[in-house]
Amino acid sequence: MMKKLFIFSSFLILIMSSAHAINCNLDIFKINKDKSQFKEILKVFPTRQAMEDIEVTNFPIEYYCGDSEANGTIISIFFMKDKVVRIIYGNSIGKERALFNIANEKYKIGFKENQKLINAKEPENYAIKKNKIYYLYGRKIGKNENEGKFFEVLEFADIETEEIIAEKMSKIEENETNN
């Protein structure tokens, strides 16, 4: 009888935990996807001008995925010439390490945890560059009065676009310095 109860309890726990896992398809959130693929999202969360030639929209992951372990995550999508050039996931109120899990489980990025940093509660920063895309992950844990709080960010960025933006920003700074 105890064995049956244990198996049933384990089954219930498995079902309850998987109900809150990221079960939605995040394939749409990739670099170079066409803006037209985001029509439904953009109806509710329209873009705004971030800088010349670049538009951005922000929305909660719950809008797209429903209830999941990533609740509290804000997704920012940057468009240039109607193509996705940057995606940022930011989370400070959901489950810790949810974005790290998304990076490795959904996108197969391959970030490796630095257990020494985790144990010391030090900031984690990981970067991988592949297929002309930067994949960045960062996690900071609060200390002292911010104990128990955290901030986690996952970012994908098109390398070519990043170089163009850096050049534009440099020119803007140069003009401001000269004025």
Confidence (pLDDT) at 17? 36
Confidence (pLDDT) at 16? 37
Instruction: Calculate what percentage of the chain has a pLDDT beyond 90.
Output: 61
Confidence (pLDDT) at 126? 97
What value, to the nearest 5°, has the Cα angle with vertex 93 and ends 87 and 99?
Answer: 40
Instruction: Judge contact between 84 and 76, C-beta under 8 A.
Output: no
Tell me how far apart the alpha carbons of residues 160 and 16 are, in angstroms, rounded to a whole number: 43
Q: What is the pLDDT of residues 50-78, one digit of tens each?
A: 988 899 999 999 999 999 889 999 999 99
- Which stretches within 66-137 are classed as H helix? 98-101, 115-119
Tell me how far apart the alpha carbons of residues 51 and 33 are, in angstroms, rounded to a whole number: 20
Provide the whole-model pTM.
0.82
Q: What is the pLDDT of residues 146-179, one digit of tens each?
A: 777 889 999 999 999 999 888 888 888 888 888 7
Q: What residues are paired with 135 via a beta bridge?
A: 128, 156
Tell me how far apart the alpha carbons of residues 74 and 64 are, in angstroms, rounded to a whole number: 11
Residue 10 has pLDDT above 80, yes or no: no
Pairing verdict, β 83-91 and 54-60? unpaired
